[in-house]
Structure 1
Amino acid sequence: MMTPFTRGRRTALAFGLAALMAVAATPGEARPGSGSSMGSRGSKTYSAPPSTATAPGAPAPMQRSMTQPGSPMGAPAAPQRRFGGGFFAGLLGAGLLGALIGGGFFGGLGGIASFLGLLLQVGLLVGVVILALRFFRRRRAEPAMAGAYQRSGPAAGPGGPLGGLGGGLGGLGAGLGGGAAAPQARPPQRDEVGIGPQDFDAFERTLGQVQLAYGAEDAPTLRRLTTPEMFGYFAEEIRANAARGVVNKIADVKLQQGDLAESWREGPVDYATVAMRYTLRDAVIERASGKVVETNPPEATEVWTFLRERGGQWVVSAIQQTR
């Protein structure tokens, strides 16, 4: 027969596990890439791009990539998944699993009960803080989002009802001497390809098209504008949103500033890494009701890498977050 102590211990364990899993599963920012660094930069995938006036700090290293570290030309490797990071994996494997089967961290029931009590308190405290932050952020941003997503259906392209790009080369390329931005000290850029105004136009245009296609869940457009690897990541995020019953709507994407970090060639492929600071309206919407359930920061600075086969169009091959 289950003793009261055993029943209480298992109840506490269940609450502790739920709190930990809620923390581990807390979503990050929305937008394509969900606020993480992903994709491939050929042989430079695991090398930090040079800093620029737009992104003076080193971008975050790749968190998801099909490129094998150390491969000379970016040979793909099978993607790997991790649950909750090393801390949570070790915690679940070493202690909580042992408690489930009757053992424990230190072999003593008192030690287990004490640890579980601490674990439960920490988990609940973290959960309350996260919920409070998300509540106040949503209350602060929701009035500005009201009415922005009242129509359903696919998002319009640039210049359409849901907004789009603006400003031309006043944003992208400003770090190369264009636009009216105030002069800023920046390191010299390595441009082996010879990036020109038409290329900057293509980068800015693709930024807006990818964002709007992601918000419209327009798979054919995303496939056309990205590498197969990046399309796979975006499609996975869209499927995850559908499973949650939400859609990530994006509108009014406008580049504010951008400049080239580096460009280079690997065989028949040209690469260009560009830092871009842009504004947008970004919200998570309930599919059934159209209710705004989450809003996200109205500005982002990211480092995008584009590639093209000789004579082909530029497509997105990586997105890295700035620190």
Structure 2
Amino acid sequence: MMTTFTRKRRTAAALGLAALMAVAATAGEARPGGSSSMGSRGSRTYSAPAPTTTAPGMAAPMQRSQATPGPSMNNPGYAQAAPQRRFGGGFFAGLLGAGLLGALLGGGFFGGLGGIASFLGFLLQVALLVGLVMLAVRFFRRRQPEPAMAGGYARSGPGSGPGMGPLGGLGGGGGPRPLPNPAQRDQVGIGPADYDAFERTLTQVQLAYGAEDVATLRRLATPEMVGYFTEELQANAARGVINRISDVKLQQGDLSEAWREGPTDYATVAMRYTLRDVTVERGSGRVVGTGDPEAVEVWTFRRDRGGPWLLSAIQQTR
């Protein structure tokens, strides 16, 4: 009898552990790249992109990249990031070590869970705490002032439409760091057709990721980025969830910098866009997480020998 009860308790603890891990996983942003910065920007991978009107602050350093840091890739004030740790890694590890391991061994959180009911109550407390943390993060994000549009391109204002390209001079606008002049910013000659390609890729990458369409992602991004996306999709599958993305719309964007390295052109673009981002259970379709309806990210594209632009990096803003 005691053995049967112990097995049931361990089974309940294992199920609770899986539920808690799902909560932790869906607490962060679920869109491609989530809350991390990843990819490569050629020799500028570990250098800070130039500020723009859309993203006047500093982009987060690369957390995942196949590029090797070298003397030419250093930039004062922009230290290389430590290996990636997703939101809640250390925090949830502590909770799991204190509570869940104790439950599996017969003890419990703060001296004993006292049974399945107490254990489920513990999980509920953790879920509530996660919710409060995410609400606080989103609150402080939205308190940041919206930068005025002084350059770049947009699709939401009067007169906007396909082929519009940049609006006004790229050298204007305020920010915590001086904006470089247009000649320093664009060494390639980015035009309206390029901006249209960047916008299409933004939308197509998000939709392909939400559809788990790896073949389309291979057409739109470098093999390195496809590898990161595939890892994230496989992690979602292991958790029994799928990230649904729809209604992607670019609201504002401008060029950070464009340069040439041998036969390869690079263009780094800051983009503010809106989207519908939800995580659902694969079997039931029940919504288990939602992402922010708006994002500001810095995307880098590369083009080899006049070929199509491919997404080569995504950096979060801070």
CA deviation vs aligned residue, 1:281-323 (integer Å, no higher than 9, x gap): 1111222222222221111110000001011000000000111
* Residue 224 of structure 1 pairs with residue 219 of structure 2: yes
Matched-pair contact (CA < 8 Å) for 1:36–1:321 = yes
Cα distance change of structure 1 residues 287 and 124 upon mapping to structure 2, 3 Å threshold: closer
Which residue is equivalent to 1:168?
162
Which residue is equivalent to 2:173?
184
**Equivalent AA in structure 2 for residue 291 of structure 1:** R
**Equivalent AA in structure 2 for residue 29 of structure 1:** E
Offset, 1:194: 0.9
Q: Distance in 2 between matches of 1:221 and 1:174?
A: 30
CA deviation vs aligned residue, 1:108-143 (integer Å, no higher than 9, x gap): xxxxx9x976xx9x9996553114667999xxxxxx
**Equivalent AA in structure 1 for residue 56 of structure 2:** P
CA deviation vs aligned residue, 1:214-259 (integer Å, no higher than 9, x gap): 1111111100110000000111111111112221111111111000
Which residue is equivalent to 2:39?
39
* Residue 304 of structure 1 pairs with residue 299 of structure 2: yes
Provide the secondary structure at the position in 2 that maps to 1:69.
coil
Q: Distance in 2 between matches of 1:289 and 1:87?
A: 31
Matched-pair contact (CA < 8 Å) for 1:53–1:175 = no
* Residue 69 of structure 1 pairs with residue 69 of structure 2: yes
Cα distance change of structure 1 residues 86 and 243 upon mapping to structure 2, 3 Å threshold: closer
Provide the secondary structure at the position in 2 that maps to 1:261.
strand
Offset, 1:185: 3.5
**Equivalent AA in structure 1 for residue 43 of structure 2:** S
Q: Distance in 2 between matches of 1:136 and 1:290?
A: 27
Cα distance change of structure 1 residues 128 and 290 upon mapping to structure 2, 3 Å threshold: closer
* Paired residues, number: 259
Aligned Cα root-mean-square deviation (Å): 4.3
Instruction: Please point out which of 279, 288, 300 is paired with 2:274.
Output: 279
Q: Report the TM-score, using the length of structure 1 for normalisation.
A: 0.65
Runs of 4+ deviating beyond 4 Å:
21-27, 80-92, 122-127, 131-137
Unaligned segments of structure 2, at least 5 residues: 1-9, 74-82, 112-118, 138-159
Which residue is equivalent to 2:153?
none
Q: Report the TM-score, using the length of structure 2 for normalisation.
A: 0.66
CA deviation vs aligned residue, 1:157-213 (integer Å, no higher than 9, x gap): xxxxxxxxx94356x634646xxxxx7336134111111111111101111111111
Q: Distance in 2 between matches of 1:32 and 1:175?
A: 31
Provide the secondary structure at the position in 1 that maps to 2:208.
helix
Cα distance change of structure 1 residues 135 and 263 upon mapping to structure 2, 3 Å threshold: closer
Which residue is equivalent to 1:143?
none
Provide the secondary structure at the position in 2 that maps to 1:168.
coil
Cα distance change of structure 1 residues 169 and 52 upon mapping to structure 2, 3 Å threshold: farther
Which residue is equivalent to 1:293?
288
Provide the secondary structure at the position in 2 that maps to 1:284.
strand
Cα distance change of structure 1 residues 134 and 275 upon mapping to structure 2, 3 Å threshold: closer
Matched-pair contact (CA < 8 Å) for 1:43–1:71 = no
Q: Distance in 2 between matches of 1:37 and 1:204?
A: 19
Provide the secondary structure at the position in 1 that maps to 2:265.
strand
Offset, 1:268: 1.1
Q: Distance in 2 between matches of 1:205 and 1:26?
A: 27
| Matched-pair identity in % | 62
Cα distance change of structure 1 residues 175 and 130 upon mapping to structure 2, 3 Å threshold: farther
